[in-house]
Structure 1
Amino acid sequence: MSKNYNKLSVFKKSTDFREAVRVVSVPLNPPNDDEVLVKTIYAGVNATDINISAGRYDPNSQLPFDVGLEALGIVESVGKNVTTFKVGQNVLTFGGPRTYAEYIYAKPDELIPIPSLKPEFIGLLVCGLTATIGLDELGRIQKGDKVLITASAGGTGHIGIQWAKQKGAYVIGLTSSEEKAKLLKELGTDRVINYKTENLDEVLTKEFPVLY
């Protein structure tokens, strides 16, 4: 095990991420008794990283502080009280923020076991949970419902499309280009609206009067 590892820390609150962060080297210590040490293989990049670096979620946060919401990696070592994970296991980790680092210290309940190190799994955390919580907990969608998803070719949107289809909903996807429209059709979107070439109000009023 190396004596030090690198991570990104915020030293200046700013939405300019390059200006806000620095690479720092810190000691690589064994995990505490109730912790798991994870070697990072992939780290997820989120649009809201700049909100974190600007201190918008916690205006009272003291500099420097860590950044990064999700990562995929391999368990490097475990504390003596940890029984649910083992060295060499593939995991997703979330929370923090702290995942823009070569190594991450996490509690067992902040880890999700995964079968392989596919980077696609990272999208199931922030983007995936945002989509599913929004549709299930807030929207409470049911089979046969008509669901309109904006920015539907984005990280959260394209997962929302697939989730709503699995629920049996009729899915309307809003997007801005023919390239994105093609992707949405491949994902099973029932009606794709390109708002650059179609008038959204007119389409919804004419085709989905009950929804609108």
Structure 2
Amino acid sequence: MNATTCASNGDTPIKVLLVDDEQLVRSGFRLLLDIEDDIVVVGEAATGAEAVDKARALRPDVVLMDIRMPKMDGIQATREIATTDALRTVRILILTTYDTDAYVFEGLQAGASGFLLKDCGPAELLHGIRVIAAGESLLAPRITRRLIAQFTAQRTANKAAEHRLAVLTEREREVLALVGQGMSNDEIGAELFLSPATARTHVSRAMVKLGARDRAQLVVIAYRTGLVTP
């Protein structure tokens, strides 16, 4: 239904793969997503291993990934997908609960583009899927910054940090610090009196120089190197 509606408007729907070991959870997400004209659920998976296989077969735009699953957990499944060249365009949005927050940092390191708490509202989930599909990372919400800070704070910066950041210009360091605080390109531009396009260019250059897959990885780097502190 959704794909037909979108195709008639000349738009391509966002293809979503639902990954959760609980059928009831997957069914709930599907009911929510199926009524959206710009989103289509292309498949479901109950294990991490199945998620990797389905991602390879279906090539979704976004994988809604649970963490705790049998056979292969969501972190390992994320790593498998993120490191597969043929799946470089697949974006992963991890869902977590308060008792699994410790996995968030590892999920971002593994290649996830962001995460949401499982008790988020429908509007927040839909927004998250659209943000991830658009090529951004879901790092702006206050809860995200708090959780990242909580777990990256345990990893103190070392001498290698300065060496790693040495490839950046002073402006790129400033931009990286603001990305680490969860700011968008528009917000970074306003903070540094730059146009959003110029801010985007600095972000892109920092990603290339630091070997970051996306903005989520830049946030990890910003905290691990001590450029941003909780």
The two structures have a TM-score, normalised by structure 2, of 0.29
- Whose strand proportion is higher, 1 or 2? 1
- Whose helix proportion is higher, 1 or 2? 2
The two structures have a TM-score, normalised by structure 1, of 0.31
Which has the larger Rg?
A: 1
